[in-house]
Amino acid sequence: MTPPATVSQDVAMTVQGVRWLAESEWYYSVTFARGITPDELAVRLGASSGAARPTATAEEAVALLSDPDVGVARIGEAGGWAFAAEYGEARGTRHGILTDISRGGVEAVNLDPQAFHPPPLFSYAADGELLCSFGLGEERRRWGSQPDLLQDDLTAAGIILPTGDYLRVSAERHSLRIAMSLGVIEKRFGLALPRDLLQYDRLPLAVVSGSPALDSLGSDA
């Protein structure tokens, strides 16, 4: 089985949290988990346990999306969190699955770009419970058993205003506004993603739904 990718010294300088997602072509969901390995995260997302993991680039992962039921995840670890970049059917976006991922004292975070139905969404679960979820750029409306979990963080960042409303900006500044919200989440949870690794390099790939043909991928098992 391919060992999960970790951040080496060669790519350490490119790990700058998650704010860079707002400035990139962000089209995949990312699920993070703290307290389990990347492979266990893949299994909790729906992948087969003990299966060999071929490696794939982001471009190769997208090419596997032959039908709407297919979901694949490129997995790794950075900053003490396992992560899964989910392409196609992104199971980590479902609150029921995210809470299941967080069972047994695990923390789980999902960042979903919602490319066709903005805004992007943030969700956080811990120990089998959804604690907080909201849209980036629409932080006044929040869900979960602790919807105000990030209230002080959002206020300190100037996203929640003294009036109780949330910061609104022009369309030209939209990506900067999303980056502000991602910055709050990044700081609160200590999230990190190796940008170059996600965008350009190969990571172990797990099939979480559907039956895509993996013949084009080389297995390092």
Name the strands in the sheet holding 55-56, side by side, starting at the edge strand that comes first in the sequence. 55-56, 203-209, 71-78, 81-88, 29-34, 107-112, 121-126, 129-135, 138-143
- The pLDDT of residue 12 is above 60: no
In contact, 167 and 161? CB cutoff 8 Å: yes
Secondary structure E strands in 99-217? 107-112, 121-126, 129-135, 138-143, 203-209
- The pLDDT of residue 36 is above 90: yes
In contact, 86 and 92? CB cutoff 8 Å: yes
So what's the pLDDT on residue 218?
57
In contact, 185 and 111? CB cutoff 8 Å: yes
For the chain, how are helix, strand and coil distributed in percent, rounded to 5?
30, 30, 45
pLDDT digits (tens, 9 = 90+) for 92-143: 999 999 999 999 999 999 999 998 888 999 999 999 999 999 999 999 899 9
pTM for this entry: 0.90
| Residue 64 to residues 26, 67, 72, 90, Cα–Cα distance (Å) | 18, 9, 8, 14
Cis omega (within 30 of 0) on the bond before 118?
Answer: no
Over range 83-96, report the average pLDDT.
97
Higher pLDDT residue, 145 or 170?
145
In contact, 93 and 133? CB cutoff 8 Å: no
pLDDT interval class at 52 (50, 70, 90): confident
User: Residues with Cβ < 8 Å from 96, sequence gap 6 or more?
Assistant: none
> What's the half-sphere exposure (Cβ side, CA atoms, 13 Å) at 20?
12
So what's the pLDDT on residue 105?
97
